Structures are given as C-alpha cells and as structure tokens.
Structure 1
Amino acid sequence: MAGKIVVALGGNALQKQGEASAHAQQDVADETARQLVPLILAGYQLVIVHGNGPQVGNIVLHEEAINTPEVPTFPLDTCVAMSQGAIGFWLQQALIDEFSRRQMKSVASTVVTQMVVDANDPAFSNPTKPIGVFYQTEAEA
C-alpha cells in the first residue's frame, strides 16, 4: 500500500460556472472519479472531503421559494446535511461506476459529518464564508 491521501474539493470545484443542475454536477463528479482512480490503482487509499457553499446555497434558495405553512423551510443545518449527502452520493456513485468500468474490486462510502463549535467564537461576528449565489447588482437579487 502506497499510503493515504486526503483529497479536498471545494464546492465551486464540483460545478462548472453557470451549470448548477444535479446532472451537470454529476458530470463533474464523473470526471473527478476518472482523475482519482489512477491514485487508487497506484496503491493509495483516498479520503475525499468537499465543500458545499454553492450547493447548500441553492438548496436554501429552493427552500425559501417554497416556504408555506404547509411546506415550511428546513433549517440551515439540515440544508447543509442535504448538500453533503447529495455531493457524497454523486462522488460515491461516480467512483463505483469507474471501478466497475475498470473491473476493480474497490468500494466507496459516504459519511455525513457534523462539527461542534463554540457559540461564543468571535469569528461568528465576522463571517467570511458565504453560501449561495453571488449577484453583480442589487437588481439581480
């Protein structure tokens, strides 16, 4: 075994500019898997971690668009878990498909994670990592 590699993918790396559909992001996951599998073939074990800023932002926009008393919005933490699950599923499925294509007996798993943070952390008063869509003008928003 050659060792372990942690592969960190930003949320923006998981979609092409202007192509935020699930299908388009699955295409990016497929290409990512094609690029990563040679590392596995070389004997490395991979741990893939990813961001989700644009994806969770889109989920929040969907939630806000359908917010009614009958269909209330999910809280942000749930939207984050939804995006983690979707991205993990796309990457896992892409890897499994690539393993099959190459007749490999490898497996892939997805783990949805949680973080414990200090509610009094001063960083909360100065957020630096936005989620969602970026608009050029106020009129676009």
Structure 2
Amino acid sequence: MRVLLALGGNAMANADGRVHPDDQIGAAKLAAGSIATLVASGVDVVVTHGNGPQVGNLLVKNELAAPVVPPVPLDWCGAQTQATLGFVLLNALDAALARTGEARRAAALVTRTRVSASDPGFLNPAKPIGRYLPAEEARVLVEHGETWEDRGPKGWRRVVASPEPLEIVDAPAITALVDAGFVVVAAGGGGIPVVADPDGTLRGVEAVIDKDLAAALLAGHVDADVMVVATDVPAAVLHYGTPEEEPLGEVTVTRMRELAAEGHFGSGSMGPKVDAACRFVERGGQRSVITRLDLITEAVTGSGVGTVVVPG
C-alpha cells in the first residue's frame, strides 16, 4: 500500500501552537513515530506538510528588515521553509525508523507546484498572510511591490493570490525516491508556486497554494492508494458549534460534496481538507481519511477512525 500523509500546520508546533525551534523538533518527533509504525508494517509513505507559521516567521523578519534590505520574495520563503522543515523531519524520521529496526531512510525534496499565470487569483489577490501592521510600516512594503489592504482598526495586512495547483513539477523525482525505498517528504506548504513562461521556463511567483489541494494532486501523481489528512480533531463535524454537532464517519464522495455545498465546513479550516479528500477519491483513490495525527495508523488500516471518504 502507498499512502500520502498530509500533516496540518499543528503537526509542526507544540500543543499550544508555539513554533519555537525546540517545539517544532518535538512535534516532528511525535509525527515521525506514527509514520515509522506505518513504514514498519510495509506501507510506502509520502509526507507533505503545512508551513504557515514558519513562513509567518520569515515575513516578520522581512518586515523588520524592509527599511534596510529588500524583502525576500514569498516563493523564496516557501523554499526556505520546505528545506528547514524537511531537515527537521528527516532527522526525526531516520531516528524513528531506526528504533523500529527499519533499514529504510527518509529523503526530503524541495518541490515546485505549477500554477497558471492567468489564474484569476493574480488579478485580485485575496489570501491574507502575516500579521497586521500600522499604515506607515505597511507603506514601506508596498513600496517594495507588495499588496497590502487596510483592514480597519486592526491595521493593514498583506494579501496574495491563492491559485489552483495544476501540477507537482517534481513528482517524477518523488516517485523515483519512493520506488527506491525512501520515506519522502515533499511539496511542503503546497509547493513553491511557479508559472511557465512561453518558452517553457519556470519561474517563481508571489502566491500561496492551498496545501491540502496540493496534497490531493501529489497523491494522484505518486499513485497513492490512501490519503490521510492529519489535523487536530478526530473527524470532520456536521453542525459545528451547535447542540446538534455530530462527527462524520464514513461517507461517499457524492454525499460529502452535498454536505459541503450545504455549508457544513468552514472555508478557512475544514473546507479545504474536505475538498482535497473528495478530489483524491474522485480521481481514483481508494479512500481519504481526515483525522488526528495520533490516529493515522488506524486510518490507514481502515479501523473506522476519522471521516472516511469513499467512492460512490
């Protein structure tokens, strides 16, 4: 069996959401233990992860340094965090695999995701990132070419495009590493967004790709049988925040789409995870599971945990 495991941003922070380096290393060790258990049972695993808090850290450094040096572009921030988190996960995975007696090793790949230069998101950037700033501080960054919006009493906030992921450019290399026996970490943060120029040359762009949608795309590229979206709740919930709140178990992809259309899943939280789970199954995957990180072994073995999206 081959599994695509998408680690939510919480998987790379401590229980309180802190992202101090020690917190991230500790969180990676916890994730690695579950992944090593899967690998020891004979499962091929490809890991992807969020990078929001880590990119946010770099953006603060950009803002503080902007009067002195030009800000690092967002695609570079993505590349830097992919490499940093890849390094942290590699150390944790190799150690966890060794404890199980596994000879397999981990590999991390800085990964590009192609988007369309004509994606409507570039015409109307709407994805807020980073922190709020006073107008005078935001103005310095606007002069460097960034797009910022006045958000009222809270201050100004940067907005960028969030284009549809079309292709995981480095999928052939990822597949080759998996086929060679590696546990692969790839496409962190949805991948580094790139567009193709008329001559076919790729170049990075200032954008944020939804990590869950990119995970579904990557899962198809590497012929995964199962996709597990690891988050901080045991399952998706119907009627969230009401007395009728109800965890959702196994559901067909058709019914899941109907529930999403009824507005059960928030656009900024569970919504993208549900969309990604549906996309994977619609493209031929056996099943998708949305559940907590500590339940991923049961999710892969089909033990009835989490929200399980199946064909139909």
Structure 2 partner of 1:110 = 108
Structure 2 partner of 1:138 = 154
Query: How many Å apart are 1:102 and its aligned residue?
Result: 3.0
Per-residue deviation, residues 67-121 of structure 1 (Å, max 9, x unmatched): 354x443111101100111111111110011122333211100011112211221
Contact kept, 8 Å, 1:67 with 1:73, in 2: the verdict is: yes
Contact kept, 8 Å, 2:90 with 2:106, in 1: the verdict is: yes
Contact kept, 8 Å, 2:12 with 2:27, in 1: the verdict is: yes
**Which structure would you say has the larger Rg?**
2
Per-residue deviation, residues 4-30 of structure 1 (Å, max 9, x unmatched): 100001223321334111110110000
Does residue 1:54 correspond to 2:53, yes or no? Answer: yes
Query: How many Å apart are 1:52 and its aligned residue?
Result: 1.1
Structure 2 partner of 1:43 = 42
What is the CA–CA distance in structure 1 between the aligned matches of 2:131 and 2:47, rounded to whole Å?
Answer: 25
Cα distance, 1:68–1:100 mapped onto 2, change above 3 Å? farther
Q: Write the letter of the residue equivalent to 2:89.
A: L
Cα distance, 1:116–1:13 mapped onto 2, change above 3 Å? same
Contact kept, 8 Å, 1:58 with 1:133, in 2: the verdict is: no
Number of residue equivalences: 135
Q: Which has the higher helix share?
A: 1
Cα distance, 1:134–1:21 mapped onto 2, change above 3 Å? farther
Query: How many Å apart are 1:54 and its aligned residue?
Result: 1.7
User: Where does structure 2 lack aligned partners over 5 or more consecutive residues?
Assistant: 134-152, 158-312
Structure 1 partner of 2:120 = 122
- Poorly superposed stretches of 4+, deviation over 3 Å: 130-135
Cα distance, 1:93–1:133 mapped onto 2, change above 3 Å? farther
TM-score, with normalisation over the residues of structure 1?
Answer: 0.82
Structure 1 partner of 2:303 = none
Cα distance, 1:30–1:86 mapped onto 2, change above 3 Å? same
Q: Percent identity?
A: 36
What is the CA–CA distance in structure 2 between the aligned matches of 1:96 and 1:134, rounded to whole Å?
Answer: 39
User: Where does structure 1 lack aligned partners over 5 or more consecutive residues?
Assistant: none
RMSD: 2.4
Q: Which structure has the higher relative contact order (CA within 8 Å, separation 6+)?
A: 1
What is the CA–CA distance in structure 2 between the aligned matches of 1:13 and 1:84, rounded to whole Å?
Answer: 14
Structure 2 partner of 1:96 = 94
